[in-house]
């Protein structure tokens, strides 16, 4: 899909009532957007803050003194882009040099690759926290933060674990307003229709149309106990993925 068709599709979709962020997320997930490698200044800012460094430190450590003034100007054009401006020092050039520089001194669990600065990521909301009683406390307003994620999870929301044994673990699910039968007999998130409590556990359907939510071991599959039983649900959704965030998800 070329740039003109891309813009027309987004314009038509937003005029039809869809949010532009949702449309772009859908198009990214389905590989419909043109390949653009824009520099992610936010990624650079994270590492500069983490290492207590400035752009001038990078320039002095990486290039010859006679190049400093010109490199600062070239970097400024990348960090503050103007449409159709000519470039002799590209986003990829800067990303490669920055990755090499940061890896010489920064102390992280991850190697900084060039695509950290130009990678194709989107943001999804972290809408709640999981606690030790298997209940999810939903966030409100400014409590909802966002994380970067691979485009294949563009339609997901995230729940962050506050349990001691899995602190920081993110669980991803596709938000639902209904009882999703694909979540049956799976590790899922679901809301009790009567109490409005949101649970996370193994969702077990009953013959009477109600549900039990089971505490089942991820390691062995054995049942540890029953969290709540014989309840009606407002909605349910299967857990699609779980992982511990790293520097790439900031």
**Rounded distance between C-alpha atoms, residue 75 and residue 82, angstroms:** 13
Quote the mean pLDDT of the chain.
86
Structure pTM? 0.66
**Rounded distance between C-alpha atoms, residue 234 and residue 189, angstroms:** 11
Contacts of 194 (CB under 8 A, 6+ apart): 231, 232
With beta carbons less than 8 A apart as the criterion, state whether 199 and 190 touch. yes
Bridge partner residues of 159 (DSSP): 128, 171
Of residues 172, 202, 201, the one with CA closest to residue 185: 202
pLDDT tens-digit profile of 152-161? 888 999 999 9
pLDDT tens-digit profile of 54-66? 999 999 999 999 9
**Rounded distance between C-alpha atoms, residue 132 and residue 53, angstroms:** 39
Contacts of 143 (CB under 8 A, 6+ apart): none
Give the start-end residues of each E strand in 64-192: 122-130, 135-138, 145-149, 157-161, 170-173, 187-192
As a residue count, the chain comes to 250
**Is the pLDDT reported for residue 167 higher than 80?**
yes
Q: How confident is the model at residue 1 (pLDDT cuts 50, 70, 90)?
A: very low
Q: How confident is the model at residue 122 (pLDDT cuts 50, 70, 90)?
A: confident
**Is the pLDDT reported for residue 97 higher than 70?**
yes
Average pLDDT over residues 37-51: 85
**Is the pLDDT reported for residue 6 higher than 60?**
no
**Is the pLDDT reported for residue 3 higher than 50?**
no
Q: How confident is the model at residue 34 (pLDDT cuts 50, 70, 90)?
A: very low
**Is the pLDDT reported for residue 37 higher than 60?**
no
Burial of residue 161 (number of CB atoms within 10 Å: 0-12, 13-18, 19+): buried
Write down the pLDDT at residue 4.
Answer: 47
């Amino acid at each position: 899909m070329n740039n003109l068709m891309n813009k027309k599709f987004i314009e038509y979709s937003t005029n039809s009532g869809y949010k532009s962020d949702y449309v772009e997320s859908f198009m990214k997930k389905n590989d419909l957007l043109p390949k653009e490698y824009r520099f992610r200044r936010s990624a650079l800012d994270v590492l500069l803050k983490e290492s207590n460094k400035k752009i001038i430190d990078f320039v002095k450590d990486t290039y010859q003194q006679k190049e400093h003034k010109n490199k600062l100007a070239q970097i400024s054009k990348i960090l503050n882009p103007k449409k159709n401006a000519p470039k002799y020092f590209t986003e990829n050039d800067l990303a490669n040099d920055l990755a090499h520089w940061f890896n010489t001194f920064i102390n992280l669990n991850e190697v900084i690759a060039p695509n950290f600065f130009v990678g194709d990521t989107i943001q999804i909301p972290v809408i709640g926290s999981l606690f030790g009683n298997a209940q999810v406390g939903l966030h409100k307003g400014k409590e909802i933060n966002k994380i970067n994620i691979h485009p294949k999870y563009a339609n997901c929301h995230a729940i962050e674990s506050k349990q001691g044994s899995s602190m920081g673990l993110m669980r991803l699910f596709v938000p639902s307003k209904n009882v999703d039968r694909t979540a049956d007999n799976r590790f899922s998130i679901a809301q009790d229709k009567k109490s409005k409590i949101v649970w996370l556990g193994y969702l077990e359907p009953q013959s009477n149309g109600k549900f039990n939510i089971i505490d089942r071991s991820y390691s062995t599959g054995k049942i540890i106990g029953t969290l709540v039983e014989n309840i009606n649900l407002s909605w349910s959704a299967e857990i699609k993925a779980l992982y511990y965030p790293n520097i790439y998800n900031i």
